[in-house]
Structure 1
Amino acid sequence: MPEPIEFDNSYCRLPHSFYSHQGPAPVSAPSIIALNKLLAKELGIGYQFLSSPDGLNMLSGNSIVEGSRPIATVYAGYQFGNWNPQLGDGRAILLGEVISEAGHRFDLQLKGSGPTLYSRGGDGRAPLGPILREYIVSEAMHNLGIPTTRSLAAVSTGDPVQRETLEPGAILTRIASSHIRFGTFQYFAAKGDIEELTMLADHVISRHFPGALESTNPYLALLDNIMKKIALLVAKWQAIGFIHGVMNTDNMLVCGETVDYGPCAFMDEFDPRKVLSSIDSAGRYAYQNQPGIAQWNLMTFAQALLPLLADTQDEAIDLAKNILEGFPQEYADQYNSLMARKIGLSSDNPSAADLVTSLLQILQSQNLDYTLAFRS
């Protein structure tokens, strides 16, 4: 018999205020569409198990593997700049965490697995098209060297999903270093739950940034680490011409990985004002705005951390401000280095930034394809 997955569940060791215990809803006729054999090997998960009937039942939510403690997590967030005090996993279930062969911890989450406590009237399901899109794009991003959640499996459910039309349903098995969001911190900060906020920060430091414990102010070091992760992430987006489309704070992971491949795309004809979301009429999340939005999101994240940074709010604000003011330079250094290499120069060439600016102006004025311009 194939070996099942060995789960660990560190997030479940936090209080119940962080999540609701919630199992996935069964589906009628699951069938595997795609299995990521290489990722399974990296995670130490047996491909033989995943491709077995027991594996299919787990990937479709029809059964719970021993050791899994399925939960839906709660969070809040700024959506298109507007505060929403409670969101949460409305159509996703965290089955648990696995330790990879390299000793790294990863979440294993089912997306499209049915309604949860946080569904807000939604059906909790996902159409096949967006599931396949996320599977393909997330794996492309990984292979392009961009920090991202990944896709272990795509499974059709055999059940229709009603959207604008009736579409076949599917479930994605999403892998992430964690699914802890800026909005997770914002949820507890907005409620004034400082004890839970501290627990969350300690959990993130232990899981993602253990080096912060060596600092005289670990929570300030946490903010600094996350700022640098996000600066690198967005620099890589910009360099490759990736437009996320929905940079809400509930779509920003503290581990610095790309998440939520909704209306995303890669730039074709170069237009810095390009917008992808049909509801983003003001162009808030246009390509050219992504670095600024990342900094704004970091500012709102820092606001959530203020109670942990210092004994007085004024001191905490000064400390956070000092970190955030470093974002533009951190981003610029990363972006300029990446772009210099794209045009064949060393990353420290002083002429690179001006050359890149001139090239982008030509691409825009001539309506040239961003990716093809660098290939040629």
Structure 2
Amino acid sequence: MTEAAPTLTKRSDPAPIAFDNSYARLPANFFTRIEPTPVTAPRLIKFNRPLAVEMGLDADALERDGAAIFSGNRLLPGSEPIAMAYAGHQFGQFVPQLGDGRAILLGEVVRPDGERRDIQLKGSGQTPWSRRGDGRAALGPVLREYIVSEAMHALGIPTTRALAAVTTGQPVYRETILPGAIFTRVAASHIRVGTFQYFAARGDTDSIRVLADHVIGRHYPELAGTDGRHLKLVDAVAERQARLIARWLGVGFIHGVMNTDNMAVSGETIDFGPCAFMDVYDPRTVFSSIDQMGRYAYGNQPLIGQWNIARFAETLLPLIHETPDEAVDLANDAVTRFMERFQEHWKTVIRAKLGLSEHEEDEDTDLIRAFLALLHAQKADFTLAFRRLSDAAADEGADEGADAAFAALLDDPLAAAPWLIRWRARALRDNRSPGERAAAMRSVNPAFIPRNHKVEEALAAATEDGDFSLFEALNGVLSRPYEDQPAFAAYATPPKPGEEVLQTFCGT
């Protein structure tokens, strides 16, 4: 007897999610209405209860019925599932039609604080934008996005969040057969630079204006109704992106696929595909298996951010000024300022990491460059170098033990002394006590990041053996990245030879 295909169910019980769907009220060409494809045997493997409570959701009901709800098998009242339209530059090549090929936006909620959030399923089945893809997700990439997005949140970096993960009971076919899963993502919105490019590629200025004003109302309400608001929107998005990328660099994060369809206009980190965190400091570091030319290397991310902002500005040219040449000149000014903004944000990030006060001295820039050059030349671990420097800051004099712990990270420990002498002399001219400086540095220099080898270890245990204990343990450690956790010291340790992760993969 043939097993019946799974079907969607709808409940009339009080909804655990109160939807209010502003994007679904936009014109029909912004999206396609599509329901998730049911799965055979969904199982809830992770539910982010604190996030659900923060959003004002019925956490008890979601935890109880999460397998059905977060698989898409059960549609809640008020949900208006849609797949969003967008285009994008992928590795510099423009693709005029991409869209949500394996993601479905269930709807939006308004949190108790008035902030609006999207709730989206990834891996929920085919859509009209799937481009011959299966619309599904494998368990490994779902767990990776859960781990990294929640770690980024704990690090204090704007990011999409993980609300839940379910297994589907169905395989997905990539290079091998893998267990299927669905990820539930929460975002300020899923509107991207590529969303604007979709309409620009079609010469649809009216839709660009509708989209721009929607973004202003949702993310930049201070601009609503102002003269020149669309040029101001370019400035505002550029400001958030410049700040975001500076903070990525501060924790050694490499996004991996900074395509324009992966840049959210809200200023959040979005789409954790082949992302990774740098171990040994090298600005040329690349992990993504598809980034053969290093376009999205660690040190290239600011330049790519500016490039993406230029593409965003191009879509708004008809709204910026009625005279094309004047519109280009105005937009170019905004794009040029991106790098100035980034440099200011990066300087703020790196000065805090080095324990330098707000009072800037002329030699600070050279001191910063010298430190990064030292890490690069000596092949030092990026995260541990700053954390051990934080320990060394606790003593105004040369703390031989703490200095030695920092120096031990270098290929040649003796190379540390000249820079440490300069740094201590500079620190003496600040008003903060050693204890205050060390505490401030520890609050911005994490002890724990999602070490790539630990992430891969957790994913392998889950996908190959059905063992989620390492996944749970890693999430727990990463939820407190700035705290010393002696019982979990192994999670702060760089990979040993043979443990290094040299490539990461998209999972599509």
TM-score (norm 1): 0.98
SS of the residue corresponding to residue 270 of structure 2 reads: coil
Q: CA deviation at 1:348?
A: 4.3
Equivalent of 2:102 in 57, 78, 91: 91
**In the alignment, which residue of structure 2 is the partner of 1:253?**
264
**In the alignment, which residue of structure 1 is the partner of 2:177?**
166
Q: CA deviation at 1:49?
A: 1.3
Equivalent of 1:201 in 204, 212, 220: 212
CA distance in 1, matches of 2:357, 2:127: 50
Task: Give the aligned CA root-mean-square deviation in angstroms.
Answer: 1.1
**In the alignment, which residue of structure 2 is the partner of 1:19?**
31
**In the alignment, which residue of structure 2 is the partner of 1:115?**
126
CA distance in 1, matches of 2:303, 2:385: 25
Matches within 5 A, 1:1-376: 3-53=15-65, 55-213=66-224, 215-350=226-361, 351-376=363-388
Q: CA deviation at 1:56?
A: 2.6
Per-residue Cα deviation, 1:78-122 (whole angstroms, up to 9, x for no partner): 000001000000000000000011110000000010110000000
CA distance in 2, matches of 1:199, 1:355: 48
Q: CA deviation at 1:3?
A: 4.7
Residue 150 of structure 2 contacts residue 162 of structure 2 at CA under 8 Å; is this kept in 1? yes
Residue 95 of structure 1 contacts residue 110 of structure 1 at CA under 8 Å; is this kept in 2? yes
CA distance in 2, matches of 1:36, 1:143: 13
SS of the residue corresponding to residue 137 of structure 1 reads: helix
Residue 150 of structure 1 contacts residue 176 of structure 1 at CA under 8 Å; is this kept in 2? yes
CA distance in 2, matches of 1:360, 1:215: 43
Residue 71 of structure 2 contacts residue 168 of structure 2 at CA under 8 Å; is this kept in 1? yes
SS of the residue corresponding to residue 312 of structure 2 reads: helix
Per-residue Cα deviation, 1:123-149 (whole angstroms, up to 9, x for no partner): 011110110110010000011011100
CA distance in 1, matches of 2:67, 2:109: 18
SS of the residue corresponding to residue 238 of structure 1 reads: helix
CA distance in 2, matches of 1:149, 1:119: 22
CA distance in 2, matches of 1:37, 1:353: 44
Residue 336 of structure 1 contacts residue 347 of structure 1 at CA under 8 Å; is this kept in 2? no
CA distance in 1, matches of 2:14, 2:206: 43
CA distance in 2, matches of 1:183, 1:31: 33
For 1:259, the aligned partner's letter is: I
CA distance in 2, matches of 1:347, 1:313: 42
Q: CA deviation at 1:4?
A: 1.9
Q: 1:125 to 1:341 in 2, by over 3 A?
A: same
Q: CA deviation at 1:2?
A: 6.8
Q: CA deviation at 1:277?
A: 1.4
For 1:94, the aligned partner's letter is: L
For 1:124, the aligned partner's letter is: G
CA distance in 1, matches of 2:373, 2:293: 23
**In the alignment, which residue of structure 1 is the partner of 2:437?**
none
For 1:337, the aligned partner's letter is: T
SS of the residue corresponding to residue 52 of structure 1 reads: helix
Per-residue Cα deviation, 1:250-270 (whole angstroms, up to 9, x for no partner): 000000111111111111001
Residue identity over aligned pairs, in percent, reads 57
CA distance in 1, matches of 2:34, 2:135: 12
Q: CA deviation at 1:239?
A: 1.2
**In the alignment, which residue of structure 1 is the partner of 2:453?**
none
TM-score (norm 2): 0.73
SS of the residue corresponding to residue 363 of structure 1 reads: helix
320-329 or 14-23: which moved more? 320-329
CA distance in 1, matches of 2:366, 2:296: 25
CA distance in 2, matches of 1:22, 1:255: 25
Structure 2 unaligned regions, length at least 5? 1-12, 389-508
Structure 1 unaligned regions, length at least 5? none
CA distance in 2, matches of 1:295, 1:26: 41
SS of the residue corresponding to residue 326 of structure 1 reads: helix
CA distance in 1, matches of 2:333, 2:72: 46
Residue 213 of structure 2 contacts residue 224 of structure 2 at CA under 8 Å; is this kept in 1? no
Paired residues in the alignment total 375
CA distance in 2, matches of 1:17, 1:2: 32
For 2:323, the aligned partner's letter is: T
Q: CA deviation at 1:33?
A: 0.8
